[in-house]
Structure 1
Amino acid sequence: MKELQLPVLDLSDFHAGGERRQSFLDDLGEAARNVGFFYLVGHGLTNEQQRQVMQLAADFFALPLAQKLEVEMRHSPHFRGYTRLQGEVTLGRPDSREQFDIMREEPVRPQARDQPTWWRLHGPNQWPAQLPQMRPVLLQWQQELSDITVTLLRAFALVLQQPEHIFDETIQDAPYQHMKLIRYPGRSLPDEEQGVGAHKDPGYLTLVLQGEQSGLEVLTEDGWLAARPLPGSFVVNIGELLELASNGYLRATYHRVVSPPAGIERLSCAFFMAARLDATVPLLPLPSHLAELAKGPASDPLNPLFYQVGQNVLKGRLRSHPDVAQAHYRDLAVPA
């Protein structure tokens, strides 16, 4: 396992303007092209806010199983709520984690005949009655993380030498928000390492708040790199939408979580930001000197299917949560 550290970027440098902003953009571009991951500090969220969110995660997962199952995700056609151990699948194998998912709090939208199936993703979250403080704290936290990712997306637009607000049309009124509280228990057998299998994230950007226990690993040209917890920071990674929009100039990187040793648990909070579900993400016209360096994404950038956000979000959720697919989407041909 490599012991090198991911790059550390300070978001206050971007807000400072001038030479500090340009230095931040240079470092951001290098991190995004070479690794696809970095630590973010100077983001404006306090250590107390971070501790509060991690304590809520610990409190929720400490509830009796019967109470957690009252808000189990299979009750929600909108993919919100609790997923028990081995309830989510990555690369066809169950992940050794339990989690609690929320998204933007919304009313159910009527399903008209001409509406796409992903319209069903809109809806309310589920909340445990035993922890009434979760709703206001996590919704506020989710919005603050969303604001940070919007700032980062505008910084990436400048890295790509585009107008700063080039992505605004795809996130206007509300980007797609998805957040998870996650608990990884200690492994019961030495070779049961898959907390989460190797994957890329599908959206624009991901922000991960880690507890004290390590486990997140990033695939580099030299092997797996441990993204060990850095107090006060978020781990940020590029999603496939940003890779596709830049024709591979920016890099979406495979990553995984290795289960902690027996008797130790790992807690984290992951926030995923993408374009609106009804948006189509453009392939950006990079200037020639950047286009020459674009390696091309793993997927075909000319295939419009990859840019259709709602359809791809729903497809990924159906694959990852077969119990929800069986309960609420039996009218669809669910992908394997």
Structure 2
Amino acid sequence: MFSAKKLAESSSSSSSSSVVGLPSEYVYLKNNSDEKYIILDDEEAQNITIPTIDFSQLISSNSSDRSKAIQQLGHACTHWGFFMLINHGVSETLREELLRASQSFYDLPEQDRKQYEGGNILDPIKCGTSFNVNVEKNLLWRDYLKCHVHPRFHAPLKPTGFSKIIETYCKTSREIVGELLKGISISLGQEENYIHKVINYESGFQIFVINFYPPCPKPELAMGLPPHSDHGLLSLLLQNDLQGLQVLHNCKWIPIQPLPNSFLVNTGDHMEILTNGKYKSNIHRAIVNNKGTRITIGAAHGPPLDDTFGPATQLLGEHDLPLYQAIKYRDYMNLQQSNALDNKSCLDHVRI
């Protein structure tokens, strides 16, 4: 199976300059939008206050603490579409087990992973490289595993225990997102279960993704994931110790250095559609490095795949018109997954 991991291993074990360099098909071609944004360095980024939500306050029985957290949550969704989540109750043990298991999956013999390669875009388990090699002009320095985990759970049987760890984590992440959606509902002036009811959250779609970015011989020329927004309502991300996430904010690429044991959370395209543009989806990207393997684990949460979804009536003002067409979630995902990632190009298809 062709993969960035395999290429990185060939590069590290070879003295041939043709292998040590970056193959031309992996050289990322920048577009006009890439050139117009400022890239902050780590020192400059330290002067920017990243929104941070204390989950323990969000679910607190103390009305003052909860009100404060909901206000902060609404501000983060309005102005950033991104925040760090702390005190969420997920143990470091589970997080570390998940990261180790993720590495173990990529250490499996090639034949054990090959069975999940190719196939249809929305296969319940799919393993591959780049994003969509069928439409991309240049490849991304990234391998991935995608699993549909709700309402039906799917995961590889190997390595031993891998499926159980994923299932435990995904159940926990759904509970966290459920509480976040309650806070967001209140921040939008609705009762706490408003979004749950509108999107039928209990039957909603959840996808689990492991991104594997091996060390790159020429990281300045390659890209892990280009600028894009996520489908769905909210995505939770955890990662190992290597940084690489950059968030676009006020025309600046901000490198994110997560607080210890925090989650990174971003709003997706369907949050923007649901709120008719009040809470916009966040554009972000993943850069690569030559120091070591970066692993990120994402869990995206949305409505049921076969539900048609548009701006929520109660979130439209008296004189507001819908800014987005209603679309079946499955059709939206097919649209995104069958094209190359490019900022909000998928969302642009449903703008009115």
Tell me which interval the TM-score lies in, with the shorter structure as reference length: 0.7 to 0.9
Correspondence for 1:120: none
Query: 2:330, 2:148 → 1: CA distance?
Result: 14
Query: 1:85, 1:245 → 2: CA distance?
Result: 30
Correspondence for 1:318: 338
Give the deviation of 1:241 after TM superposition.
0.7
Q: Which residue of 188, 205, 214 maps to 2:243?
A: 214
Query: 2:167, 2:340 → 1: CA distance?
Result: 24
Range with greater deviation from structure 2 (206-215 or 94-103): 94-103
> What 5-or-longer segments of structure 1 have no aligned partner?
108-123, 322-336
Give the deviation of 1:82 after TM superposition.
1.6
Range with greater deviation from structure 2 (234-243 or 72-81): 72-81
- C-alpha contact 2:151 2:206 (8 A) present in aligned 1: no
Correspondence for 2:287: 258
Question: Cα gap change, 1:271/1:168 in structure 2, threshold over 3 Å: closer, same or farther?
Answer: same
Residue 145 of structure 2 is aligned to residue 100 of structure 1: yes
Deviation sequence 1:18-41 (CA, Å, 0-9, x none): 000100011111111111110001
- C-alpha contact 1:11 1:42 (8 A) present in aligned 2: yes
Deviation sequence 1:150-183 (CA, Å, 0-9, x none): 1111111111001221222323442110011111
Give the deviation of 1:267 after TM superposition.
0.8
Q: Structure 2 matches for 1:178-217, cutoff 5 A?
A: 178-217=207-246
Deviation sequence 1:303-335 (CA, Å, 0-9, x none): 223xx21211222233369xxxxxxxxxxxxxx
Correspondence for 2:325: 303
Correspondence for 2:57: 13
User: In structure 1, what residue type is equivalent to 2:274?
Assistant: A
Give the deviation of 1:85 after TM superposition.
5.2
Give the deviation of 1:78 after TM superposition.
1.6
> What 5-or-longer segments of structure 2 have no aligned partner?
1-39, 342-352
Correspondence for 2:102: 57
- C-alpha contact 1:73 1:79 (8 A) present in aligned 2: no
- C-alpha contact 1:218 1:225 (8 A) present in aligned 2: yes
Query: 1:259, 1:136 → 2: CA distance?
Result: 30
Query: 1:151, 1:92 → 2: CA distance?
Result: 40
**How many residue pairs end up in the alignment?**
294
Question: Cα gap change, 1:128/1:269 in structure 2, threshold over 3 Å: closer, same or farther?
Answer: same
Q: Structure 2 matches for 1:210-249, cutoff 5 A?
A: 210-249=239-278
How much identity, in percent, do the aligned residues show?
20
- C-alpha contact 1:171 1:276 (8 A) present in aligned 2: yes
Q: Structure 2 matches for 1:160-179, cutoff 5 A?
A: 160-169=188-197, 170-179=199-208
CA RMSD of aligned residues (A): 2.7
Q: Secondary structure at the match of 2:241?
A: coil
- C-alpha contact 2:84 2:263 (8 A) present in aligned 1: yes
User: In structure 2, what residue type is equivalent to 1:185?
Assistant: P
Correspondence for 2:160: 132
How does the TM-score come out when normalised to structure 2? 0.76
- C-alpha contact 2:131 2:140 (8 A) present in aligned 1: yes
Range with greater deviation from structure 2 (70-79 or 143-152): 70-79
Correspondence for 2:180: 152
User: In structure 1, what residue type is equivalent to 2:127?
Assistant: Y
Give the deviation of 1:302 after TM superposition.
4.0
How does the TM-score come out when normalised to structure 1? 0.79
User: In structure 2, what residue type is equivalent to 1:181?
Assistant: I
Query: 1:83, 1:167 → 2: CA distance?
Result: 33
Question: Cα gap change, 1:222/1:304 in structure 2, threshold over 3 Å: closer, same or farther?
Answer: closer
Q: Which residue of 69, 85, 101 maps to 1:24?
A: 69
Deviation sequence 1:261-320 (CA, Å, 0-9, x none): x242101100100011122334233486xx99x9x9xxx724223xx2121122223336
Deviation sequence 1:182-230 (CA, Å, 0-9, x none): 1111222243231001000111000000110000000011410111132
Give the deviation of 1:91 after TM superposition.
7.2
Query: 1:188, 1:64 → 2: CA distance?
Result: 24
Correspondence for 1:115: none
Correspondence for 1:118: none
